[in-house]
Amino acid sequence: MSTATVLHEKEKATNTLLEICSVRLEENWFGIPISHILEIVGGARPQPVPLAPAFVGGLIHYRGDVLTTVSLRQLLGQPPKEGNQDVLVLESSGGYFGLLVDAVGEVLTLSSADFEQNPSTLESKRRALFAGAYKLKDRLLVMLDPERLDPMRLTSAQTS
């Protein structure tokens, strides 16, 4: 069971508030619990890695280490974006990695009462990436689970 769903079930019982960082991709908004975010690096220009798996957005320099980034665009099958992008540095069981998004939005405080699981009609490929959604007033915030975005996991998912 992934972290987000664990969190979610705990919340349901207590109806707690959760801080979620919203990120934008074109017109769509996604959310990541801020407890999983180590740092946000703005205006990064990732170095492309030829022959890398399609979801790899490139490498960035982060505090003396070379970080592999996962491009949310490429993961969702959208064309890569030119120019600067924002990177969320996330921690997963396999170590650190970066998540490339078009832009980072504000941090929202949401109630777990507004959370819904993935709809059953969602394509299975997407269902593997998304952890559910929060119902905001005017739109839906699709939750991402850092564990599921881990490059190592994506690689093995791709090959299998």
Partner 1 sequence: MDELTREFLIESQEGLDRMERCLTELEERPQDAGLLGDIFRSVHTIKGTTGFLGFKRLEKLAHSGENLLGLLRDGKLVANAPIITALLQLLDGLRAILKTIEADGNEGEGHDTALVDQIKACMQGGAAAPAAAEVPAVAAAATVATEAAPPPLVAVPAAAPVAAKPVVPAAPAPPATPAAGAKPAAPAGNTPPRAAVVSAAESSLRVDVTLLNRMMNLVGELVLTRNQVLQATANDPNMTMLSRRLDMVTADLRENVMKARMQPVSNIFSKMPRIVRDLCQTLGRHVRIQVEGQDTELDKSLLEAIKDPLTHAVRNSLDHGIEPPDVREAAGKDPEGTLKLRASHEGSHVVIEISDDGAGIDTERVRKKAIDKGLITADRAAQLSERELHMLIFLPGFSTAAAITNVSGRGVGMDVVKTNVEQIGGKVEVDSRQGKGMTLRLRIPLTLAIIPALIVRTLEQSFALPQGALSELVHIPPEQAATAIEWIEGAPLYRLRGQLLPLVYLDRLLTPEGHHKAATERDNFIAVLDADGRRFGLVVDGLADPEEIVVKPLSSALKGIGLYSGATVLGNADLALILDPGAIALKAGVNMTNREEENSRAAEQQDAIGLNTGMEYLLVEAAGRRAAVPLADVLRIEQLPLKRVEYIGYRAVINFEGQLLPVEDSGGILAAGGDGESQVIVVVCREGERHVGIAVSQVLDVANGSDLFEAGTEQRTDGVTLLKDHVTGVVDLGSVPPLPADAQPSSGEWNNVAETMA
Q: Is 112 in the site for partner 1 (CB under 8 A)?
A: no
Q: Is 50 in the site for partner 1 (CB under 8 A)?
A: yes
Q: Is 48 in the site for partner 1 (CB under 8 A)?
A: yes
* Structure tokens given for 58: 């490139």
Q: Is 65 in the site for partner 1 (CB under 8 A)?
A: yes
* CA gap 31, 42 in Å, rounded: 17
Backbone phi and psi for residue 145, each to the nearest 5 degrees, phi listed first: -110, 115
For residue 29, which of 98, 120, 108, 82 has the smallest C-alpha distance?
108
Which residues have CB under 8 Å from 157's CB, separation 6+?
128
Q: Using CB under 8 A, which of the segments 30-38, 71-79, 90-98, 120-128 binds partner 1? A: 90-98
Q: Is 80 in the site for partner 1 (CB under 8 A)?
A: no
Q: Using CB under 8 A, which of the segments 14-22, 109-117, 129-137, 152-160 binds partner 1? A: 152-160
* Number of other residues whose CB lies within 10 A of the CB of residue 157: 14
Candidates 40, 118, 155, 157; binder of partner 1 (CB under 8 A) is 155
Q: Is 157 in the site for partner 1 (CB under 8 A)?
A: no
For residue 80, which of 59, 61, 50, 102 has the smallest C-alpha distance?
102
Candidates 14, 15, 27, 66; binder of partner 1 (CB under 8 A) is 66
Residues that bind partner 1 (CB under 8 A): 47-53, 56, 59-61, 64-68, 94-95, 97, 151-152, 154-155
